[in-house]
Amino acid sequence: DAGITQSPRHKVTETGTPVTLRCHQTENHRYMYWYRQDPGHGLRLIHYSYGVKDTDKGEVSDGYSVSRSKTEDFLLTLESATSSQTSVYFCAISAGRGGEKLFFGSGTQLSVL
């Protein structure tokens, strides 16, 4: 258990509304990631962070923004949710001797109606 908590676990929202998902870690890991998982696509990287206020885009970053003001918290924001953003969102941290292993949270099921 890498001490990763995601909230909320489930959310239903309407198109055009802003949504923020939270990832909290308790073990002071430097790297944190946001992935989305969709059938047939596997896990795709949205954004990642390599330190406080240090973030970068991943493969599918359009329509998403992130913030990391504290080591332990990494927030993912959908500024104006669309139905194509209906997905399961996973937060992860990298650990292991070389930071080579990913450990995942339990996920957030987001439905945009």
Cα–Cα nearest to 22, from 66, 57, 81: 66
Among 18-26, 63-71, 77-85, 105-113, the segment contacting other proteins (CB under 8 A): 105-113
104 binds other proteins (CB under 8 A): yes
Candidate residues 60, 81, 93, 107; the one interacting with other proteins per rule CB under 8 A:
107
Compute the distance between CA of residue 71 and CA of residue 73 in angstroms, rounded to an integer.
Answer: 6
50 binds other proteins (CB under 8 A): yes
105 binds other proteins (CB under 8 A): yes
Collapsing DSSP states into helix, strand and coil, what is residue 51?
Answer: strand
CB of 89 to other proteins, least distance (A): 10
Among 18-26, 61-69, 78-86, 95-103, the segment contacting other proteins (CB under 8 A): 95-103
Asked if residues 10 and 109 have their Cβ atoms less than 8 Å apart, the reply is yes
- Cα→Cα distances 80→20, 39, 57, 64, 72, Å: 10, 23, 18, 9, 25
Residue 39: half-sphere exposure toward Cβ, Cα within 13 Å:
1
CA 62 to chain centre: 14
Among 20-28, 44-52, 60-68, 69-77, the segment contacting other proteins (CB under 8 A): 44-52
Interface with other proteins (CB under 8 A): 31, 35, 40-45, 48, 50, 58, 90, 92, 94, 96, 99-107
